[in-house]
Amino acid sequence: MGEASRWLDSDSISRFRKGLRILALRALGDADLAEDVAQEVLARAIVAAEDGRLTPDDNVGAYLQGIARHVISDVWRQQKRVAASESVLDLPAVPASALTALVSDEERSRIRDAMARLSVGDREVLRLSFFEDLNSTQIADLLGQPSSRIRKRKSRALQRLREALARESHTSNKPSD
């Protein structure tokens, strides 16, 4: 890596790769293709940084996203899933099940176990939040509970699931590397 791109350190590149992989997986539904897209985008970004076309003062996220959309569009066209003139911007996302490729079997098992340990009420709040897309005020109205209590239950339940996902992640984070 040249002088101009030293600001793109390994931590940054690792973080960007994770984000790009999510973006690509959501668009393509294929973990291997998503990894290829992430690598291609990062390779182009590094070249751009060395050429001085990408600097720390730029909106790096927007820059990477722009490249990623071009690369993903190319994949779609190679697969003849869209015409050359079409954009991927409005294409529907793949089902959430495809995104589980981001999570190892062990991590998924831990999340399920943590879900099972939640109270029925907390699971209900999560269901209404994440599957019925209701906000805390709407859930509070439905359940006849103060919205502050709903927010607390949701926060507590999510925190337990986050901890389950993060636990021992150093031994099981291969899909998210």
By the criterion CB under 8 A, which residues form the site for other proteins? 15-16, 18-20, 22-23, 26, 59-62, 64-65, 68, 89-90, 92-93, 95-97, 99-100, 102-103, 107-108, 111-113, 115-116, 119-121, 123-124, 126-127, 129-134, 138, 141-144, 158, 161-163, 165-167, 169, 176
Q: Smallest gap, in angstroms, from Cβ of residue 64 to other proteins?
A: 5
Helix (H) or strand (E) holding 173: none
Least distance from other proteins to the Cβ atom of residue 17, Å: 9
Nearest by Cα to 157 from 124, 109, 108: 124
Nearest distance from C-beta of residue 95 to other proteins, angstroms: 7
Nearer to other proteins (CB atom), residue 50 or residue 124: 124
Min dist CB 76 to other proteins, Å, is: 16
Q: Which is nearer to other proteins, 77 or 123 (CB)?
A: 123
If the CB atoms of residues 79 and 159 are measured against other proteins, the closer one turns out to be 159
Q: How far is the CB of 78 from other proteins (least distance, A)?
A: 21
Q: What are phi and psi of 77, to 5 degrees?
A: -70, -35
Residue 29 backbone zone (phi > 0: left; psi -120 to 50: alpha; other: beta): left
Indicate the residue among 84 and 96 with the shorter CB distance to other proteins: 96
Determine the Cα–Cα distance for residues 141 and 136; give it in Å rounded to an integer.
9
Tell me how far apart the alpha carbons of residues 136 and 148 are, in angstroms, rounded to a whole number. 8
Q: Rounded to whole angstroms, how far apart are CA atoms 56 and 68? A: 19
Location of structure tokens 């990408």: 54
Instruction: Quote the DSSP letter at residue 82.
Output: S
